[in-house]
Structure 1
Amino acid sequence: MSTATLNVRTGPGLSYPVLTQVHRNQTFSIVESKKDWYRISTDKGEGWVADWLVTRESTGSLNETGQQGTVSTNGLRLRKGPGTSEPVVTILNKGDIVSISETSGSWLSVQSGNAGGWVHKDYIDLGAHSSASASPSKNKEAKQGVITAGTLNVRKSPSLNSPVAGAVHRGNPVSITGSVTGWYEIQFGKSKAWISDNYVELSSTPVEVPATSSEFTGKITVNSLNVRSEPSLNGNIAGKVSKGEKYPILSERNNWFEIKLKSGKSGWIAGWFVQKTVAGEQKKSTSSTQPAGEKVTILHNGTNIRSSADVQSNVVKRADSGETFSVTGKQGNWYEIKLKDGSTAYVAGWIVSIRTGSGSESSPSRNTSGGIRNKVITIDPGHGGRDSGTIGTRGTLEKLLTMKTAQLLADKLKSAGAEVIITRKNDEYVSLPSRVSLSHYYDSDAFISIHFDSIYDSSVAGHTTYYYRNYQKDLAYDVHESLADRLPSRDRGVRTGDYHVIRENKQAAILLELGFLSNPAEEANVTSHHYQDLAATAIYHGLNDYFSN
């Protein structure tokens, strides 16, 4: 312990009540770990302590190691615990590199990308990766991206067990310099750091980190925090800072940050109560991503203006064709605009035209929604009612997931002026012939059947597009190309498929398998709102390409 007395809490967080107190040099068994906390067994029962205030020691039966190794077989099950009865977390394949943190008998606790768990030692080849300094083979990258998560931890190495180096926020631009499975290496200040690749949308345009006089900014995360004269709890209290305040970070020492106060003086604060970001990153960057004076013009009457960059967010205003708003920022495919009362809101980029400060005009909507407008598009959420479809390893029901994705797609298409038909609007059973009949009745310009896949081999992952008739082929390739460009999952290509809803369909019809629920890692990914929205956006753009050709 780094303090004389340490609070043991009833849960893994500083907001939980204190169960008891323990003292320096006392030793306790670790029952469980969760993010930055350990659950330990005390004479008052089990409770939680912060991992930055304790030192973890190895025991005879559970040994720590700094090794790395390579998976020697395909289809290796990564389990939650050291035993074949433990649930499977994900599947590893031959050649995957893992970081080994502990051993227990014949089992190794390993980290692979953003997945951690236990594997049998017989299937790990230490080989050339036996040194503590070994690291997964890194691919060099030169890409640009935008963060899609609200707040995303930046880590010192590509592992969830790695110390947090700071944070980035939704809409922040990042320069990607390298990658390993599940992780991107980014430029973080003047050094390199790592973020999960699940929360980055790649961009085709360059992004820049704003130049500032201070490399990092620290945001206070607790209500009141002492500023001390030296980087230690023994330092004299020189002042206090409050939750939400931000200060330039001048230097770091042993997880303490030296900050510059508003008075001009400097002092030290405990780093575990500070969220570190690249200076200026939390401010909305308009000059680097939006030309000065840029405006958007609404193309359709009744266009929804929303509270955030999400089709599920609240509608704060409805605008009509011809209305113009100033652009104050951008998040993904959405524009942040300034309303007449001075507040800001968001509008989808695919239903507006853009005018720059120089007067030149681009119209993503005329190039995108122009093809879709007035088209009749039938969306078919697979399964429903007594037909659940496939069931994921974590219990995900395909019938509910297809419904969510279909609704996201419908919202985007309606916003662009399409007439949308949905074969089922809730959890109900609809026969396959009835689905096809709806496509014929409305004389659909396109029929999109949405599904998620399953197979006995849980290592298989990716998205696939199927068609049956030759007149469906162009639609299949246009939509699939858009999916392949935008989805982070494996591209399994375009194939012919003998499925009733496309085989018996006289219209241009395709069936999409957007991911494998039989793969635990992919199941976790495709059930996220981010992935579903990404898939809906990709289908939308694919349809636009099809109708514009």
Structure 2
Amino acid sequence: MSPGGPVDGAITAQTVSVLAKQGEWVKIQTWKGARWIVPNRDFSLPAKLPLSKDTSLHEKPDSSSTYMGTVSAPQNVSILSKEGDWYLIETWRGPLWVLPNHDFSLPATITLTKVTSLHNEPDEKSAYLGALSPQTVSVLAKKGDWYQITTWKGPLWIVPNRDFSVPEKLLLFMNTSLHEKPDSSSTYMGTVSAPQNVTVLDKKGDWYLIQTWRGPLWILPNHDTSLPSTITLTKVTSLHSEPNGVYSGSVSPQTVTVLGKQGDWYQISTWKGPLWILPNQNFN
């Protein structure tokens, strides 16, 4: 075992025999043999330190000491010890010291007004790790629209006041009634025609609040179960922006996923997004 090595247990408050010393570390005799400790270490120290900007590594907790490289940000680093404002962290070169610089352009807190998804990285495709109810949270770092905040699970990333469980767009397969509230007995406000993609603002149960020409209104989407889930294309098939619309390329013979239908035309999922085809006819 060496200073800064893997944790190998703990000892209760007691007097111990010293064998050697290295910096803050002391080698003592234990029932497991010789082991290293930092006596009376403050365990209120966080296990991780979020760095919001690239930070210099030093051999000692002193800016005039040997420069040992730079740790890139944003990232969370493992803390081994602390001396003043300096932190001893685990690095690829072994334990080294950093003097974290707080970005004072960051807000200290953010108030969340809706349920907000937690992610392990500043990317909506990264692992979903739960959600926070509306509350004020402490900010640690920022990357683009993403903020790293303090949570009960440690530092995690959010896009404030956006709920990733609610899609930005919703494809309607059928003409759908608009309501003033998320309740079918509430005031009828008109009908949105289908098929089309509508912009989603919020969700409550099975109801979606969408943007309409009359302002935000609620819908209860109904899926058309008569639609096939897939279609097998037997020849090269033209893609169009809408039924009889602008030519947008073609798709080779394959099985495609169906999103909607209008007359003989089918809306399918493509690498360019939802587009329309007339199955097994070639417009070229």
TM-score calculated relative to the size of structure 1: 0.15
| Greater Rg over alpha carbons, structure | 2
